[in-house]
Amino acid sequence: MNLGSNKNKIRQSKAAKNTSMMSIVLIVVVFIFVKFIGGNENLKEIQSGDLLQVNFINVGQGDSILIKNPQNEFMLIDTGTSDQYDTLRAYLNSEKVEKFAYVIFTHPHADHIGSADKIIKEYDVETVIMPRATTNTATFARLLDELEAKRIGITPAEAGDEYIFGTAKFLIVAPMKEDYGNLNDHSVVVKMLFGNNTFLFTGDMEKTSEDDVLDFCERNGENIISADLLKVAHHGSATSSTKKFLELVKPKIAVILSDGKSYGHPHADVLERLDNIGALIARSDLHGNIVVSSDGRTLSIESEIVP
């Protein structure tokens, strides 16, 4: 993938120095075997040269993540706001996306599903995964209208469900309940496995949902959220990413999608917690589009420099 002449590699820095974070070569080598619920018996064998590419698209104060597997299949997690659709579409065009094997809309807030109706209208989509949460906004209504117009059913996000994505596999970790009072806690949380590399995508989950996942891990004696890469929840909000949660995930890389200006995101406390567990912090407000690639053992990260 070509990110232009400003493409650089990110280096690790202290949270207090994130505003001036520039780049040199970084290769994160991970040889840790991570147990994944259900095992790997249904996965195709990873071939030499196969790469899983995770694109964190800079859509300002919102989330949009494009994942490409070695079989040239695509998965999209969220779309950002409606006014960012031109940015999102240009990125998808640069990756030659014509259809999606999976689209996950983590929860019905406009900064996550603002362009969802346009994605459904303009692209072929095999499977749409959403939480059972609903809202009465025009944005959500437009999405439902487009799904109905194209006769695409909604697959409810059920914790524990697994899906095959070429030589990758992903698990729905949360939501674990249906009665959260906060839409953010309904966020679909996805753990993806590619070889021995793991990725945790958290939407806007907050402390209540995090606590439910932590309780599950404790009761079952199994860490289902450990990951090499973490998409930090809720744009780095202080209402998410508790110390206990981050210590269980223990990511090598933490990616924050935010414009760096709205709502005090990312919060200094979250940056400090991430720094304390030794995570490399990459931020879309500082580094633009962020691309993480995996060959099943090794993670590499590239970004743009934002002036």
Tokens of 186: 């309904």
**pLDDT for res 43:** 65
Could you tell me the sign of the dihedral formed by the alpha carbons of 272, 273, 277, 279, in that order? negative
The better pLDDT of the pair 30, 251 is held by 251
- The single-letter code of the amino acid at 255 is V
CATH number of 26-39+50-304: 3.60.15.10
Tokens of 187: 């966020």
**pLDDT for res 42:** 53
| Torsion (CA) 125, 177, 237, 293 in degrees, nearest 10 | -40
Which burial class, exposed, middle or buried, applies to 91 when counting CB atoms under 10 A from its CB (0-12, 13-18, 19+)? middle
* pLDDT tens digits, 169-224: 999 999 999 999 999 999 999 999 999 999 999 999 999 999 999 999 999 999 99
Tokens of 64: 């949009």
**pLDDT for res 222:** 93
Inter-residue contact 299 to 28 (CB < 8 Å): yes
* pLDDT tens digits, 5-59: 333 444 333 333 333 333 333 444 333 233 344 445 556 788 888 999 999 999 9
- The single-letter code of the amino acid at 142 is R
Give the separation between CA 252 and CA 143, rounded to whole angstroms.
35
Angle at 161 between CA 127 and CA 156, to 5 degrees: 50
- The single-letter code of the amino acid at 82 is S
Inter-residue contact 178 to 188 (CB < 8 Å): no
**pLDDT for res 86:** 98
* pLDDT tens digits, 91-121: 999 999 999 999 999 999 999 999 999 999 9
**pLDDT for res 3:** 30
- The secondary structure of residue 27, as a DSSP letter, is E
Give the separation between CA 277 and CA 275, rounded to whole angstroms.
5
Give the separation between CA 111 and CA 146, rounded to whole angstroms.
18
What percentage of residues in the chain have a pLDDT greater than 70?
85
Give the separation between CA 99 and CA 103, rounded to whole angstroms.
10
Mean pLDDT of the chain: 87
Q: pLDDT-based confidence at 234, cuts 50/70/90? A: very high
Spans of all domains in the chain: 26-39+50-304
**pLDDT for res 306:** 57
The β-bridge partners of 190 are 172, 201
**pLDDT for res 258:** 92
**pLDDT for res 15:** 38
Beta strand 124-130 with 154-156: parallel, antiparallel or unpaired?
parallel
Closest CA to 225 of 206, 198, 205, 203: 198
**pLDDT for res 56:** 97
The better pLDDT of the pair 3, 83 is held by 83
